[in-house]
């Protein structure tokens, strides 16, 4: 029971991170119908930028943790947003309306490029980061000494994710940007005819998605304490799985999917084998796509004849 | 309706198709006969294309029976996979928005249409790989059949063009030729005259009567162009809001008050 | 015009500054087992300057009456300086050279089409004509190239390194041709082709180790297993739409890799399998100086001096033969109902169904056949290397094979050869650039997609003609004149 509870906490934390990355996939897929293969790399870049910012802050002497974390979050979001914008501008926008596999291939190229770019400029070695917020709260203790604990960091991650999700849902439902996005999702051509600046809306979508992935990058840096240039690939596929599982194009779906994947991974590692935890995730991706391609919260799609 | 002892080529009975709460087609029954042109008409959104999609297996009807009869063979279309409907029951169709293999040549489009036959002749590629004479003969015959139909629709000269580069009217004719190359028992045409000029429409009417009279198959036709419908059809079925509101020979349907009401509105009464 | 160009370039430089500032400007390095940042602001400054110049050059060269001559001169200067001036890092030097060449080329294109800039359609058509011409030419070049490939090991300058390179190239050409069946003909984006390769390689390695089977027996078995894997995977996933299909194939390939990595008692895990037997000379003789009891040595059989290179040359001929088989198969099947159905499926699935084509079986056939070829290539890889481990079968390998197909022009057999030369041959030729290889490779994929989404030499020839026969080139010109 105690063990289960601990895994639940770990799984939810992990799920929050996946969920944040999944939002980027789901929004982009919803609006232009492509898998932004390079999105995982944005998350990886976010992790690197957060490490760099922590080190710079340490060097200039800002050591009060809450301030440092807030600054790092903002800086990372800014830079990853620029990356998101640039990628869309360079690699996807010119291909809009091209044949259907072109953007996906371009995205794969972009992903390979970014991975190797980071490897080249930052080195291939794993980057260890000392824990920034080490405090934990012990919730209960078993007779044999096993403690169920939730760390401050886990609380921060979960709360921050909830706040971002809530804010983001408000944006989609109540602002002009959200309306434009939903319009483009329905019918891009028509939205354009009605005066929605389609290019700009898509750019903004990428910017928001990238900023959220940046936040996830910061979280993962603080949570695991080690990063390398390769983390984006696997995390990207997992987050994409989360997006598909929740129903691609659906924001609550992305979060739900992220949570599910996080929990499955945590419990699988805890009760079965750590080695095969990725197989479990990929297996779920395959099963969902085969048996319920619309995901948990997605709308069904009828083949148009 | 036909009163022959033999059953009609196609019997549609109590066809109903629902999408969630929406009833697109509700309890529609009609027959389509061999060597006759049966037209389905009705205002936009009346459920005509849905009937076609049920017939050709792209939708599975919610209720009803679709039976294709030929001699002693019968096929229940609602239970068959779409490709089996084309391959075994031999129901061919065209699409409202032309669906050609636009990157392939005109001739290739017609050869692909004879896939089922050629696949058998090539012993599922084995004989073809080794270039056995049986397959080569089959391919020559396929080209001859293609030439015959290209000749009918006036496209022999452009047989080696990319299909996507043809003008619109020619693409429509090519689609009909492609459907005919499958050697169908029943040919279903979804608005074949849409977007054609009057000259092309007249040619189309000639082509369809030719197919009916010379190739002795049944034709099922969805069409908005009344000049074509009234000129060539033998039997007309009128749908409105998914229900059949009238049926009969063209002259009779034209004067049916229910039909006039559906097309022109209630005030006509 | 100059002002707007300057503003545009300044904006690009701004973005470049933001992009490079943290990642290039502040490098994390470990010192005394602690992570510290090390400033590299000069790199950033040079990058930003290069981006500014490049963007400015591109805009000016592309403008209607732009100063193309001056841009060309400036670009050449930059290229020259890339060679002469001391750059902070090698990467920046190459960036300067590559960027300068790119801008220079753009200026040249602008100069050639002085009367106005080329429209996109016009440019596309030109490239199409080149593709068509090359296809025409390939009817002549093809046999010549095959004869050259056959004679290569006998030529005087053919040393071990060259033949090794030839083997590597041919392996990728074979894989490219195999994947081309799925991606180019059947139009399904398979991101996990390397799994077939892995299944083939492990089939051979395990069969050889466990039962002592020889290469010639295992080759067909490896193909069989790979195509069985293809069928197993194909049944569930073939119904999926394009990009879902892509991601699921990727997921399956990762599953295969993870299983190979962790199923230690069966696959020997991350350590891999070593000591995989080399192929015999068709079971007649072995390549060894001192053959084991009862076996005949190759050099004795032919009365030659013993030389290591005999085995390498033999391997070269094996892979040459295998890839030619794949090529002839593809050329042949394109003219058969199955191949035509693949292409038709790529064009329009629904129309195919309406013509009585069963999409599932047709696609399964594509998957199984391409898988079989992948399996052959895998078995060859295992026997050539003598050692395999899961590391050789990561996603990046799939991406390279895919790039070979996509860059060359989907469905084009010549295109695969050209792209393999570019993707695999070039980096091998410029060894000192090895660390930039994947970087350039990713960038290349993006650039080619932007420039010519259907690939460099994408030009499709009809597989059957009613009015034989004018050259593809004339045909193309014809279509343009009328269409």
Taking residues B200-224, report their average pLDDT: 89
Taking residues A170-194, report their average pLDDT: 83
A303 touches chain B (CB under 8 A): yes
User: Which three-class secondary structure state does DSSP give residue B47?
Assistant: coil
Whether residue B161 and residue C348 make contact (CB cut-off 8 A), yes or no, is no
Cβ-proximal residues to A88 (8 Å cutoff; 6+ apart), any chain: A202, A203, A206
Six token digits for residue C288: 């060894």
pLDDT score of A92 more than 80: yes
| Model pLDDT for residues B194-205, shown as the tens digit of each residue | 888 888 888 999
- Nearest by CB to residue C336, choosing from B57, B122, B178, is B122
Taking residues A287-303, report their average pLDDT: 73
Whether residue C26 and residue A99 make contact (CB cut-off 8 A), yes or no, is no
Pairing assessment for the beta strands B243-248 and C26-31 based on DSSP bridges: unpaired
Whether residue A282 and residue C252 make contact (CB cut-off 8 A), yes or no, is yes
Euclidean distance between CA atoms B163 and B106, whole angstroms: 5
**Banded model confidence at residue B109, pLDDT cuts 50, 70, 90:** very high
pLDDT at B117: 84
Distance, in angstroms, between C55 CA and closest chain B CA? 36
* Whole-number average pLDDT of chain C: 83
pLDDT at B267: 54
Nearest to C382 by CA among C288, C267, C298: C267
More confident residue, C405 or B122: C405
Percentage of chain A modeled with pLDDT above 90? 30
**Banded model confidence at residue C451, pLDDT cuts 50, 70, 90:** confident
| Model pLDDT for residues C63-72, shown as the tens digit of each residue | 766 677 777 7
Taking residues B115-125, report their average pLDDT: 78
pLDDT at B1: 46
Whether residue A106 and residue C243 make contact (CB cut-off 8 A), yes or no, is no
| Model pLDDT for residues A207-259, shown as the tens digit of each residue | 999 999 999 999 999 888 888 888 998 889 889 889 888 888 888 888 999 99
Whether residue A122 and residue C439 make contact (CB cut-off 8 A), yes or no, is no
Euclidean distance between CA atoms A96 and A108, whole angstroms: 16
Q: Which residues pair with C160 in a beta bridge?
A: none
**Banded model confidence at residue B2, pLDDT cuts 50, 70, 90:** very low
pLDDT at C283: 72
Euclidean distance between CA atoms B125 and C332, whole angstroms: 10
pLDDT at B269: 41
- Nearest by CB to residue C462, choosing from B84, B107, B179, is B107
Whether residue B58 and residue A305 make contact (CB cut-off 8 A), yes or no, is yes
pLDDT at A272: 83
Which of the 8 DSSP states describes residue C116?
A: S
Taking residues B24-46, report their average pLDDT: 88
pLDDT score of A124 more than 60: yes
Whether residue C250 and residue A52 make contact (CB cut-off 8 A), yes or no, is no
User: Which three-class secondary structure state does DSSP give residue C458?
Assistant: coil
**Which of the residues C92, C186, C243 would you substitute to probe the A interface, choosing the one with the greatest number of A C-beta atoms within 10 Å?**
C243
Chain B residues with CB under 8 Å of C368 CB are: none
pLDDT score of A265 more than 50: yes
CA distances to A67, B248, C19, C418 from A133, in Å: 12, 83, 28, 54
pLDDT at C483: 45
Q: Where are the alpha helices (DSSP H) in chain A?
A: 2-32, 39-60, 65-87, 102-122, 152-174, 176-186, 188-193, 198-224, 231-246, 251-271, 277-291
User: Which three-class secondary structure state does DSSP give residue A140?
Assistant: strand
Taking residues C258-274, report their average pLDDT: 86
Chain C residues with CB under 8 Å of B129 CB are: 329, 332-333, 336
pLDDT score of C466 more than 70: yes
pLDDT score of B216 more than 80: yes
pLDDT at B96: 87
Taking residues C298-322, report their average pLDDT: 84
pLDDT score of A298 more than 80: no
Taking residues A260-276, report their average pLDDT: 87
pLDDT at C419: 87
Among A128-142, A213-227, B106-120, B197-211, which is the least confidently predicted range? A128-142
User: Which three-class secondary structure state does DSSP give residue B247?
Assistant: strand
Which of A208-217, B237-246, C233-242 is the most confident on average?
A208-217
Stretch 181-220 of chain B: residues touching chain C, C-beta under 8 Å = 182
Taking residues A67-84, report their average pLDDT: 93
Taking residues C115-134, report their average pLDDT: 67
Q: What is the DSSP string of C271-337?
A: G-EE-PPPPPBTTTBB--SSPPTT--BHHHHTT----THHHHHHHHHHHHHHHHHHHHHHHHHTTSH
| Model pLDDT for residues C18-52, shown as the tens digit of each residue | 888 888 888 888 877 778 888 888 888 888 888 88
Distance, in angstroms, between C116 CA and closest chain B CA? 27
**Banded model confidence at residue A61, pLDDT cuts 50, 70, 90:** confident
Taking residues C294-319, report their average pLDDT: 82
Whether residue A105 and residue C445 make contact (CB cut-off 8 A), yes or no, is yes
- Subunits with 3+ Cβ pairs within 8 Å of C are A, B
Chain B residues with CB under 8 Å of C463 CB are: 108
* Whole-number average pLDDT of chain A: 87
Nearest to B223 by CA among B254, B189, B191, B262: B191
Taking residues B42-54, report their average pLDDT: 86
- Subunits with 3+ Cβ pairs within 8 Å of B are A, C
Whether residue B128 and residue C347 make contact (CB cut-off 8 A), yes or no, is no
pLDDT at C88: 74
- Subunits with 3+ Cβ pairs within 8 Å of A are B, C
pLDDT score of A145 more than 90: no
Contact (Cβ atoms closer than 8 angstroms) between residue B168 and residue B195: yes
Contact (Cβ atoms closer than 8 angstroms) between residue C421 and residue C166: no
Distance, in angstroms, between B237 CA and closest chain C CA? 24
Residue A282: closest CA among chain C residues belongs to which residue?
A: C251
pLDDT score of C264 more than 60: yes
The phi-psi region of residue C455 (left if phi > 0; otherwise alpha if psi is between -120 and 50; otherwise beta) is: left
Euclidean distance between CA atoms B259 and B252, whole angstroms: 10
CA distances to C82, C142, C468, C482 from C475, in Å: 45, 21, 11, 11
pLDDT at C224: 95
pTM: 0.86
**Which of the residues C28, C30, C188 would you substitute to probe the A interface, choosing the one with the greatest number of A C-beta atoms within 10 Å?**
C28
pLDDT score of B4 more than 60: no
Distance, in angstroms, between B157 CA and closest chain C CA? 8
pLDDT at C470: 55
Chain A residues with CB under 8 Å of C403 CB are: 109
- Nearest by CB to residue B95, choosing from A302, A303, A305, is A305
B116 touches chain C (CB under 8 A): yes
Percentage of chain B modeled with pLDDT above 70? 94
HSE-CB at A299 with a 13 A cutoff on CA atoms is 10
HSE-CB at A301 with a 13 A cutoff on CA atoms is 15
More confident residue, A175 or C479: A175
pLDDT score of B268 more than 50: no
Stretch 283-302 of chain A: residues touching chain B, C-beta under 8 Å = 302
| Model pLDDT for residues A15-28, shown as the tens digit of each residue | 999 999 999 888 88
């Amino acid at each position: 029971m105690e063990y289960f509870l601990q895994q639940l906490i770990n799984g939810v934390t992990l799920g929050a991170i996946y969920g944040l990355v999944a939002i980027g996939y789901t929004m982009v897929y919803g609006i232009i119908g492509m898998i932004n293969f390079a999105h995982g790399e944005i998350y990886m870049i976010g992790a690197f930028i957060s490490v760099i910012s922590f080190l710079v802050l340490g060097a200039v002497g800002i050591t009060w943790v809450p301030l440092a974390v807030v600054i790092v979050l903002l800086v990372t979001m800014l830079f990853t947003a620029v990356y998101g914008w640039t990628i869309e501008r360079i690699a996807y926008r010119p291909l809009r309306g091209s044949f259907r596999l072109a953007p996906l291939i371009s995205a794969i190229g972009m992903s390979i490029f970014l991975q190797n770019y980071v490897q080249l400029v930052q080195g291939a070695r794993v980057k260890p980061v000392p824990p920034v917020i080490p405090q934990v709260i012990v919730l209960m203790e078993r007779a044999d000494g096993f403690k169920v604990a939730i760390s401050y960091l886990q609380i921060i991650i979960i709360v921050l994710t909830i706040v971002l999700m809530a804010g983001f849902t408000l944006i989609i439902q109540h602002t002009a940007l959200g309306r434009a996005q939903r319009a483009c999702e329905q019918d891009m051509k028509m939205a354009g005819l009605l005066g929605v600046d389609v290019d700009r809306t898509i750019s903004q979508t990428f910017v928001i998605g990238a900023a959220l992935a940046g936040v996830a990058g910061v979280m993962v840096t603080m949570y695991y304490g080690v990063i390398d240039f390769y983390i984006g690939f696997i995390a990207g596929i997992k987050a994409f799985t989360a997006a598909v599982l929740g129903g691609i194009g659906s924001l609550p779906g992305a979060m739900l999917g992220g949570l599910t994947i996080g929990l499955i991974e945590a419990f699988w590692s805890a009760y079965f084998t750590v080695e095969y935890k990725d197989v479990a995730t990929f297996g779920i991706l395959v099963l969902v796509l085969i048996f319920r391609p619309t995901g948990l919260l997605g709308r069904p799609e009828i083949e148009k004849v | 309706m036909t009163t022959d002892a033999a059953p009609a080529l196609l019997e549609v009975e109590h066809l109903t198709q629902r999408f969630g709460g929406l009833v697109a087609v509700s309890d529609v029954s009609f027959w389509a006969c061999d060597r006759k042109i049966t037209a389905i008409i009705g205002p936009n959104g009346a459920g005509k294309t849905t009937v076609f999609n049920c017939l050709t297996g792209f939708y599975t009807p919610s209720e009803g029976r679709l039976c294709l009869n030929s001699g002693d063979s019968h096929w229940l279309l609602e239970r068959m996979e779409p490709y089996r409907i084309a391959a075994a029951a031999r129901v061919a169709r065209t699409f409202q928005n032309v669906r050609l293999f636009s990157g392939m040549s005109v001739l290739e489009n017609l050869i692909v249409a004879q896939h089922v036959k050629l696949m058998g002749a090539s012993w599922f590629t084995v004989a073809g790989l080794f270039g056995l004479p049986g397959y080569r003969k089959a391919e020559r015959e396929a080209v001859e059949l293609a030439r015959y139909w290209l000749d009918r629709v006036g496209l022999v000269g452009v047989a080696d063009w990319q299909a996507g580069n043809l003008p619109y009217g020619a693409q429509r004719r090519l689609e009909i030729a492609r459907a005919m190359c499958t050697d169908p028992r029943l040919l279903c045409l979804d608005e074949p005259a849409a977007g054609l000029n009057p000259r092309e429409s007249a040619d189309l009417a000639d082509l369809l009567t030719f197919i009916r009279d010379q190739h002795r198959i049944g034709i099922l036709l969805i069409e908005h162009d009344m000049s074509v419908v009234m000129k060539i059809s033998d039997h007309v079925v009128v749908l409105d809001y998914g229900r059949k509101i009238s049926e009969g020979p063209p002259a009779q349907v034209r004067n049916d008050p229910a039909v006039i009401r559906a097309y022109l509105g209630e005030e006509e009464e | 015009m100059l002002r707007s160009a300057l503003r545009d370039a300044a904006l690009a430089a701004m973005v470049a500054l933001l992009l490079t500032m943290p990642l290039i400007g502040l490098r994390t390095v470990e010192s005394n087992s602690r992570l510290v940042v090390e400033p590299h602001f000069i790199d950033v400054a040079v990058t930003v300057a290069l981006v500014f110049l490049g963007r400015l050059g591109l805009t000016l060269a592309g403008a209607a009456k732009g100063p193309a001559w001056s841009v060309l001169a400036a670009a050449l200067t930059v290229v020259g300086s890339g060679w002469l001036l001391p750059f902070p890092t090698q990467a920046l030097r190459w960036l300067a050279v590559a960027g300068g060449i790119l801008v220079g080329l753009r200026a040249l294109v602008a100069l050639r089409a002085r009367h106005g800039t080329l429209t996109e359609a016009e440019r596309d058509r030109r490239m199409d004509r080149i593709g068509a011409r090359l296809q025409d030419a390939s009817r002549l070049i093809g046999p010549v190239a095959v004869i050259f490939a056959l004679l290569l090991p006998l030529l005087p300058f053919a040393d071990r390194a060259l033949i090794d390179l030839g083997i590597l190239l041919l392996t990728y050409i074979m894989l490219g041709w195999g994947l081309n069946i799925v991606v180019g003909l059947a139009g399904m984006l398979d991101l996990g082709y390397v799994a077939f390769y892995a299944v083939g390689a492990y089939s051979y390695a395990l069969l050889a180790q466990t039962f002592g089977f020889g290469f010639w027996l295992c080759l067909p078995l490896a193909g069989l297993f790979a195509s069985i894997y293809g069928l197993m995977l194909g049944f569930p996933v073939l119904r999926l739409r394009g990009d879902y299909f892509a991601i699921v194939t990727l997921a399956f390939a990762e599953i295969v890799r993870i299983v190979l990595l962790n199923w230690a008692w069966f696959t020997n895990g991350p350590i891999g399998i070593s000591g995989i037997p080399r192929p015999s000379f068709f079971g007649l003789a072995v390549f060894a100086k001192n053959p084991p009891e009862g076996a005949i040595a190759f050099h004795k059989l032919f009365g030659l001096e013993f030389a290591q290179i005999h085995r390498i040359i033999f391997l070269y001929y094996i892979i040459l033969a295998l890839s030619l088989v794949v090529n002839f198969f593809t050329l042949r099947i394109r003219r058969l109902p199955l191949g035509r159905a693949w292409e038709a499926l790529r064009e329009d699935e629904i129309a195919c169904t309406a013509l009585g084509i069963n999409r599932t079986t047709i696609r399964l056939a594509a998957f199984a056949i391409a898988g079989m070829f992948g399996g052959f290539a895998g078995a060859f890889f295992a026997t050539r290397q003598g050692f395999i481990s899961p590391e050789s079968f990561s996603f990046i390998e799939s991406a390279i094979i895919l790039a070979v197909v996509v860059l060359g022009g989907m469905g084009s057999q010549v295109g695969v050869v050209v792209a393999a030369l570019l993707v695999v041959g070039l980096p091998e030729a410029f060894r000192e650039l090895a660390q930039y290889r994947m970087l350039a490779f990713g960038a290349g994929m993006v650039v080619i997609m932007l420039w010519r989404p259907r690939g460099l030499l994408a030009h499709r020839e009809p597989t059957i003609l009613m009015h034989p026969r004018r050259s593809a080139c004339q045909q193309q010109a014809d279509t343009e004149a009328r269409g």
